[in-house]
Amino acid sequence: MSKNSSITEIDQSVQQAHEAFRVFRRINSKQRAAFMHAVANEIEALGPELIATAQLETNLPAARLVGEKARTVFQWRSYADALDSVLDIRIDTADASRTPPKPDLRKTAVGLGVVAIFGASNFPFAFSTAGGDTASAMAAGCPVIVKTHPGHPKTSALMGGAIKVAIQRAGLHPGLFAEVHSDTFEGGQYLVSHPLIKAVGFTGSFTGGKALHDLAAKRPEPIPVFAEMGSVNPVFLLPRRLENAAVDIAKQYLASLTLGVGQFCTNPGILVAPEHAGLRQFLDTLKIGVADTEATPMLHQGIASAYGKNKAALLANTGVTVLAEAPETSPETHGNATIATVKASQFLANDQLGHEVFGPFGLVVTYENAQEAEAIAQTFKGELTATVLAEPEDIDAHQHLIELLTNKCGRILLNGFPTGVEVCYAMQHGGPYPASTDSRFTSVGPDAIKRFLRPLSYQNWPDEYLPDELKNANPLGIWRTVNGALTKEAIQ
């Protein structure tokens, strides 16, 4: 555990970051992109020590961590390469002949200011100190203060070190990136309340995200908070699909549910299945599969203990029956896959059953007809993902259900499972509240940068005083909307 930062230390970090912002916000997108690739290089250069350290601190297997490191490097590189596409440059040139004369207006996007990032425990690389939120904010031209996750302090220090080396080598202001440590709410509270903090990125629990959101909204100057707070990611299995593929789906569902000991925000915690031909086979396959899994160490004891407690609370509800439970070896540290079933009528009568149990726990809700399935869909609030497992005839017969689900999630999947969040342009990782605090943004993919950018219009400035991306010659060679038309051409 790192020593908690004092209030004075946090204040100094923020002040220095604000100072760094003065220059960083003005370097152009190509220069920012070059810096981001330099960070990627430094992370890549972190050797076996990184993996070994993270393994010790998180209990995650080496292969997973090697993959996550590559993902993290890819985030820095792909956000850097995509930077120009999120600036959304709009130029409307002057028309002196109009009455009144039309001014020359050119809109770019600039960083909001110093950003506070709160990393997650379940992705020590990709969603923590040097994770996607930090990469997004720096891509936007914002200095970053990371409130490190107390679950993996040494991993955090290694990753933060890579960013600092890149800053130093690039000759940028050292205040551009800093870590602060706090294992109480006070440190984070002070950080989010600091007048020079202009935005917050958070990945974690609903309780944590909501606390930061509420705090930021109450500041004298409210600031945007993008908190990704997980969800139950409902999976709707439709009748023909169940009939045709009960065994395969059971195996795939179990694989998704237990991946990473269920410690994913896109973990499919609730599967809604019809009381239809194939259900018995589906459940039996799950049962056999669960019996075959071994309890696995969770990220830390707090998570393992919460898993046990939340699971027990859910199982205590009327009508909930344990279908299968993997042997419980060391409940204080390990999570054992567990699947329970409940009838739709019971599920609909008790809103406790819709709560997320973070870990390898699945609740199979069985429904008798489309009306029940729709009623279940109605109970969900905002979700990161919703999944439909269906044959074409199922889709045609369940249009209203699919529409309901589409309206409640950020990503809708067909015949797949939601774990595995691709880092790409088309990813939406976010969703209506409480999946995230602002459904208009994503925390994965280059569009995540938009959370930390604001538009800025220049009116009637001569070319030489404009930022590069707005100059007539288009020296950065980027796509721009000029008088309504997308083009890479220079302006004559």
Task: Please give the helix or strand (H or E) that residue 455 lies within, else none.
Answer: strand 453-459
Does 169 contact a second copy by CB under 8 A?
no
Backbone φ/ψ region at 359: left (φ over 0), alpha (ψ -120 to 50), beta: left
Beta partners for residue 324, in sequence order: 339
Q: Tell which one of 34, 45, 62, 217 touches a second copy (CB under 8 A).
A: 217
Does 141 contact a second copy by CB under 8 A?
no
Window 17-36: residues binding a second copy (CB under 8 A): 22, 25-26
Indicate the residue among 6 and 457 with the shorter CB distance to a second copy. 457
Which residues have CB under 8 Å from 61's CB, separation 6+?
55
The DSSP-derived string for 14-43 is HHHHHHHHHHHTTS-HHHHHHHHHHHHHHH
Using the contact rule CB under 8 A, the part of the chain among 38-46, 218-226, 246-254, 289-297 near a second copy is 218-226
Q: Which of 319, 340, 387, 13 is nearest to 173 (CA)?
A: 13
Task: Write down the catalytic residue from 265, 356, 383, 469.
Answer: 265
Q: 243 with 218: CB under 8 angstroms?
A: no
Q: Which of 174, 171, 220 is nearest to 197 (CA)?
A: 220
Task: Please give the helix or strand (H or E) that residue 157 lies within, else none.
Answer: helix 153-169
Smallest distance from the beta carbon of 343 to a second copy, in angstroms?
Answer: 27
Q: Tell which one of 32, 71, 77, 107 touches a second copy (CB under 8 A).
A: 107
The yes-or-no answer on residue 409 being catalytic is no
C-alpha distances in Å from residue 185, one per residue of 144, 149, 195: 19, 12, 18
| 76-95 footprint of a second copy as x/- string (CB under 8 A) | -----xx--x--x-xxx---
Does 243 contact a second copy by CB under 8 A?
no
Does 171 contact a second copy by CB under 8 A?
no
102 DSSP assignment: B
Indicate the residue among 8 and 98 with the shorter CB distance to a second copy. 98
Smallest distance from the beta carbon of 367 to a second copy, in angstroms?
Answer: 22
Window 419-458: residues binding a second copy (CB under 8 A): 420, 422, 424-428, 430, 432-434, 437-442, 445, 447, 450-451, 453-458
Does 407 contact a second copy by CB under 8 A?
yes
Q: 297 with 333: CB under 8 angstroms?
A: yes
Does 472 contact a second copy by CB under 8 A?
no
- Rg (C-alpha) for the chain, rounded Å, is 24
Does 484 contact a second copy by CB under 8 A?
yes
Window 38-77: residues binding a second copy (CB under 8 A): none
Using the contact rule CB under 8 A, the part of the chain among 152-160, 318-326, 366-374, 460-468 near a second copy is 460-468
Indicate the residue among 302 and 455 with the shorter CB distance to a second copy. 455
Evaluated on CA atoms 231, 236, 242, 244, the torsion sign reads negative
Q: Tell which one of 32, 69, 71, 106 touches a second copy (CB under 8 A).
A: 106
Using the contact rule CB under 8 A, the part of the chain among 126-134, 269-277, 347-355, 477-485 near a second copy is 477-485
Q: Whole-angstrom Cα distance, residue 149 to residue 404?
A: 36
Q: Tell which one of 61, 103, 208, 331 touches a second copy (CB under 8 A).
A: 103
Does 195 contact a second copy by CB under 8 A?
no
Which residues have CB under 8 Å from 320's CB, separation 6+?
314, 340, 341, 342, 346, 353, 363
Does 406 contact a second copy by CB under 8 A?
yes
**Is 355 in a helix, a strand, or coil?**
coil
**In this structure, what token pair is assigned to residue 121?**
């425990």
4 DSSP assignment: P
Q: Whole-angstrom Cα distance, residue 390 to residue 68?
A: 31
Longest CA pairwise span in the chain (Å): 81
Using the contact rule CB under 8 A, the part of the chain among 269-277, 283-291, 332-340, 402-410 near a second copy is 402-410
Window 333-392: residues binding a second copy (CB under 8 A): 381-382, 392
Q: Tell which one of 460, 473, 475, 490 touches a second copy (CB under 8 A).
A: 460
Window 253-292: residues binding a second copy (CB under 8 A): none
Q: Which of 37, 115, 136, 89 is nearest to 430 (CA)?
A: 136
Task: Write down the catalytic residue from 228, 325, 356, 469.
Answer: 228
* Angle of the 153-169 helix axis to the 48-58 helix axis, nearest 10: 150
The yes-or-no answer on residue 228 being catalytic is yes
Indicate the residue among 112 and 163 with the shorter CB distance to a second copy. 112
Smallest distance from the beta carbon of 9 to a second copy, in angstroms?
Answer: 25
**Which residues are marked as active site?**
228, 265
